[in-house]
Structure formats: C-alpha cells, structure tokens
Amino acid sequence: MQITYYGHSCFEIVVNNKKILFDPFISPNPLAEKIDIKSIKPDYILLSHGHYDHVADAIEIAQSSGAVVIANWEIVQWLNKNGVSNTHPMNTGGKWMFDFGKVKCVAAVHSSSLPDGSYGGSAMGFIIESHEANFYYSGDTALTYDMKLIGEFRTLDFALLCLGDNFTMSVDNAIIAADFIKCRKIIGMHYDTFGFIKINHEEAKGKFANQGKELTLMEIGETRNY
C-alpha cells in the first residue's frame, strides 16, 4: 500500500492497484504549490464533507481523470450539477464493496457547506477495508465517543486523523481518538495550512510517543509504503 501526501487533508492511497484520492485541496494551498494537479489521475475520489478546503479541486480532477467520486447525497448532487456524472452517493452508516475493497461511512462531528453556500449534508469519515490493509480516514471531526465503536468492531493497521485544533481535534484529542479506535500508527492531517491550525511538529510527535503511539507528519509531495 502506497500513500502520497498532497497537503492539508489530501492523500492519495493506492489500494489493490487502485488510486484513491481523499479531499483534494491542492491548487489553492500555497504550501502545495509544487504539486501539479494535472498529473493526479485517481480511480476514486472520496470527499468527507463540502468545505472548500476539502473539495476545491474535486471537480477538475474528477473531470480530467474520470474517477468515481464517493460522497454523501448532497455533495453528489452538487457535483452532478457541476458536470461530474461518475458518482456514487453514500451516507453515514452505509457501506459498499468497490473493486479495491469496502468503504464504510462513519460519523464526523463537523459542519458542512458547499462552495456555493448550499447545504453540504452530514460530514463523514471513512473506514477502508481491503486484503492489503484496513485504515480510517477521520475527515474533519471533533473527538467523539462514537469512535469507540470503530475500535470495538474493526482492526486498523493505521489511521489518518485531523489534529490541527481550532476547527477539529487537537493533538491531545487525537491521542484519545487513537485510544478509542485502538490504533497505534497515526498519520496526521489538517494542520499548518492556516494560521489557526499550526502545530509544533516535534511536540506533537513527542506526545504521541509518550503514549506508546507513532505519529507521522508527512512532507507535501512525499510518498511512503505501508
């Protein structure tokens, strides 16, 4: 399994030879200025909610790649109105088997509106299960006790958790979330992009290490194998 980080909360993860892109916010992000979105050709795009910093490049990449976009009903309707027809609507609690593996939609406690100001439906996180690995992508969320259900009924190899605070969980809350989901290997997201969410990298890694967990903060453009 290969993971590439494109900044903010955007990752491309190769699962069973299929490229899955999460929450593409690249071209408006000055920290990701070296990333050429024209070179990104996913097979699937997963959108956790409708905020601009998660869907900014979704339409362009979907149209240029032909990727299937997986999102909630409201986001799919917005995409359809904006020229993206290859979509698969889902919602919280639902699951579907795709050719790369299973997608389970779980609750994320966060607001959601679309770039045109319309209602963006419920924010979600995703659990991906495949024969290569199982992982959780939290999307933007507060710490919630519902995360304990993930730990009770799923075995995760790693998790991608938001930890920038202010709009989402903090580092300290993400450590508790890691306990709830029973996952030791965490990849951080939704930090540093804006002044509100800047973190101290070494302090954050140290806090996780002190609790027997591993926090990875990837460089933008970096690819790692898991």
Q: What is the pLDDT of residue 68?
A: 98
| Predicted confidence (pLDDT) at residue 226 exceeds the cutoff of 90 | no
Asked if residues 58 and 65 have their Cβ atoms less than 8 Å apart, the reply is no
Q: Which whole number is the average pLDDT over 120-126? A: 98
Beta pairing partners, 137: 126, 160
Q: Which whole number is the average pLDDT over 23-44? A: 98
Domain boundaries, the chain: 2-225
| Predicted confidence (pLDDT) at residue 122 exceeds the cutoff of 90 | yes
Instruction: Write the pLDDT tens digit of every residue in 181-208.
Output: 999 999 999 999 999 999 999 999 999 9
Query: Where does 2-225 sit in CATH, by number?
Result: 3.60.15.10
In this structure, what DSSP letter does residue 168 have?
Answer: S
Q: Which whole number is the average pLDDT over 165-170? A: 98
| pLDDT more than 90, % of the chain | 100
Place of tokens 């030879």: 17
Q: Which whole number is the average pLDDT over 139-155? A: 97
Residue 65 banded pLDDT, cuts 50, 70, 90: very high
- Compute the mean pLDDT over every residue in the chain, rounded to the nearest whole number: 98
Beta strands at 11-15 and 18-22: parallel, antiparallel or unpaired: antiparallel
